[in-house]
Amino acid sequence: MKKIVLAYSGGLDTSCAVRWLKDTYEAEVVCFSAFIGEVGDRKLLMQKAKSAGASKVYVENLKEEFADDFIMPALWAHAKYEGKYLLATALGRPLIAKHLVKIAAIEKADCVAHGCTGKGNDQVRIEVGVKTLNPDLQIVAPLREWSFKSREEEIDYAEKHNILVSATKKSPYSIDKNIWGIAIEAGILEDPWTEPPADAYFMTRPLSEVPKKPLYVTIGFEEGRPVSLNGKSIKLVALIEKLNDIGGRYGVGRSDLIENRLVGIKSREIYEAPAATILQLAHEELEGLVMDRDFLHYKRVLSEKYAEQVYYGLWFTPLREALDQFFATHQSRVTGFIRIKLDQGQAVVVGRKSPFSHYSEELATYSEKDKFDRKAAEGFMKIWAMPYRGHKGK
């Protein structure tokens, strides 16, 4: 191994990893950091990586690419793993894999590395992503190999090698955050019977602190893409960030679940995803207004499959690509407005309209405006029941 590109977060693990890789493999280490959540301190990140021994540091703001190429497809797919998790972390990993491979090519590196642990899903997502994009690259996961047994040992190692690490107190949780949401695990959360304490939430307020009065927001969609907020056009990343802020203030988008990891473990994780919750609710509602029953019911099956593909690290695969085509097919009709009420931790749809709406008041009404042909209903039942006539139920 001559040159390694490391996915570098600036945290203790990846900081130690720079030096460890350099010494263990006698290789040059190039660091790559991506901003897909908050934009961090670029200079500090570079300083830290250099202090750990990196020969070069790439820091890239990839929020737009993340939103356009990863969040949008997941939004169209209505992707939720096990019906609940909106996949923020799972969507971020293939993006990181893609850029690791890209930088490895630029740098003529023969290896990439990451700081994922050996029992999580993220190692799978990054490594399968890298292998699908460039099977010739070697991959090293220092956390699966090195002998550090505790955080203290890593801190000692960093001190010994003059590696700059932030002085901030370590949170008792393991956190991963980007604009599509935050995942929080470990610490006291490992006891599935314990209610998450207040300090385990970062993006949303508890119900005791949300505004008393509800807030109404209107999201405008054009051809499937959310393009406006309360009548004002807004870019996708800005909209997501704004909805995280507003939704968070109303306590929207929290969940607490036991999920089935790909590696076979059940884990307890809590999530906050205000913008993702609101946007997926809005998109589902609008699509429900403009599409027919068969399409909608069948799509649910594919949504579940799609969420699994994403969760299992199978992003760069023929099936995911084909499913994206399916979900894109009728987005041109998903144009219109959805009105949502944010109230006491909930986001609830209260209004919807679209030029492509299939809703007909004349057909639905119970008033004198009714145009529904009740006579025809009789014949419909006759034929619908035909196969089952006389079948005595159990």
Q: Which residues are catalytic?
A: 13, 93, 122, 174
Q: Tell me: does residue 188 bind ligand ARG (CB under 6 A).
A: no
Annotation-wise, does 11 bind a ligand? yes
With CB under 6 A as the contact rule, which of the stretches 34-42, 66-74, 176-184, 327-335 interacts with ligand ARG? 176-184
Whether 30 contacts 5, CB under 8 Å: yes
Tokens of 377: 């209903």
With CB under 6 A as the contact rule, which of the stretches 31-39, 168-176, 226-234, 356-364 interacts with ligand ARG? 168-176
Q: Tell me: does residue 183 bind ligand ARG (CB under 6 A).
A: yes
Q: What is the full DSSP assignment across 317-381?
A: SHHHHHHHHHHHTTGGG--EEEEEEEETTEEEEEEEE-TT----HHHH--STT----HHHHHHHH
Annotation-wise, does 174 bind a ligand? yes
Tokens of 239: 């909209």
Distance CA 273, CA 39 (A): 18
Annotation-wise, does 85 bind a ligand? yes
Residue closer to ligand ARG by CB (options 9, 244) is 9
Q: Tell me: does residue 176 bind ligand ARG (CB under 6 A).
A: yes
Neighbours of 264 (CB within 10 A): 7
Cβ neighbourhood burial of 392 (10 Å; 0-12, 13-18, 19+): exposed
Q: Tell me: does residue 137 bind ligand ARG (CB under 6 A).
A: no
Task: Match 């090195």 to its residue by tokens.
Answer: 146
Name which position in 18, 46, 86, 90 contacts ligand ARG (CB under 6 A). 90
Binding pattern for the stretch 108-127 against ligand ARG, x by CB under 6 A and - elsewhere: -------------xx-----
**What is the bridge-based pairing of β-strands 181-185 and 225-229?**
unpaired
Annotation-wise, does 379 bind a ligand? no
With CB under 6 A as the contact rule, which of the stretches 55-63, 163-171, 174-182, 221-229 interacts with ligand ARG? 174-182
Name which position in 134, 174, 255, 317 contacts ligand ARG (CB under 6 A). 174
CB of 168 to ligand ARG, least distance (A): 17
Q: Please list every residue from 70 through 89 that binds ligand ARG, using CB under 6 A.
A: 89
Question: What SS3 state is found at 28?
Answer: strand
Q: Tell me: does residue 296 bind ligand ARG (CB under 6 A).
A: no
With CB under 6 A as the contact rule, which of the stretches 41-49, 172-180, 210-218, 366-374 interacts with ligand ARG? 172-180
Whether 269 contacts 184, CB under 8 Å: yes
Name which position in 28, 241, 269, 287 contacts ligand ARG (CB under 6 A). 269
Name which position in 49, 140, 184, 210 contacts ligand ARG (CB under 6 A). 184
Phi, psi dihedrals of residue 383, rounded to the nearest 5°: -75, -40
Question: What SS3 state is found at 191?
Answer: coil
Distance CA 254, CA 9 (A): 25
Distance CA 216, CA 232 (A): 14
CB of 121 to ligand ARG, least distance (A): 4
Binding positions are 7-15, 34, 85, 115, 117, 121-122, 125, 174, 259, 271
Binding positions for L-aspartate are 117, 121-122
Note the residues at the interface with ligand ARG (CB under 6 A).
89-90, 121-122, 174-176, 183-185, 269
